[in-house]
Amino acid sequence: MGRLASLYLFAYNAAQACGWTIALIKLILTVSSTNSFDGAYAACGELICLLQFSAVMEVFHSAIGIVPSRVLPVLMQWGGRFHFVAAIISQIPEVQKLPAVFITFMSWSLSEVIRYPQYALNTIELCPGWLTWLRYSAFIVLYPIGALIGEMPAMYKALPYIKKKNIYGDAFNKLPFSYYSFIVAVLVCYPFLWLKLYMYMFKQRKSKLGKRGESKKALRPKIRVE
């Protein structure tokens, strides 16, 4: 990787880390001050929407090869998250106060305040081993919570409002299906797509942490038995 690309990736990931740290702090302060999960979207919904929109750059990073990630999993994760927060939650005020939205935002924020600092420090070769381990281990708990307890229930609860308000009716008018039908299809496919991404992340974990273990073994002094 060239020096310029490394500096750019460090700046991008550091900016995302700062943004998600602010979002996490806002979530915690809102819950602690109100003793309620209702204000999650009001506190940081717009910020998270902006952060998710800007994360489209990660698709381009993969596409042009400045990071080793595969394009399709990155695109799937980015598309799913951005669609959830920008196309559904931001458009339906009745859904914004659901506990599922708070659960989603909290799991995303916790994941990203680990992931982005690890990426940033890794580009300048200053990432501690414990942070790499945490990056490739925290998702085991956070990813199912965010997707299965947060995103899916929130989308399901949004269905009656999507149908009642005919959301994006004009955009889907010339298509043989409505936006409501599209979301129903997404919910049916979601567990299978989620599982595919989840398994891919386990492969990444094995690859990254396995290499780290092999490097440690290689650095150990060899004891010669005579």
Q: Which residues are catalytic?
A: 143, 151
Q: What are the tokens at 226?
A: 């005579």
CB 105 within 8 A of CB 48: yes
Q: Which residues contact 123 (CB under 8 A, 6 or more apart)?
A: 1, 6, 9, 10, 13
Q: What are the tokens at 9?
A: 């990736």
**Distance separating alpha carbons of residues 5 and 190, to the nearest angstrom:** 35
Q: Report the SS3 class of residue 67.
A: coil
Q: Which residue intervals of 35-147 are DSSP H helices?
A: 40-54, 57-64, 71-82, 93-96, 99-123, 129-135, 139-144
Q: What are the tokens at 196?
A: 């595919």
**Distance separating alpha carbons of residues 199 and 189, to the nearest angstrom:** 16
Residue with tokens 């490097």: 215
Greatest alpha-carbon span in the chain: 82
Amino acid identity for residue 109 in this structure: S
**Distance separating alpha carbons of residues 180 and 186, to the nearest angstrom:** 10
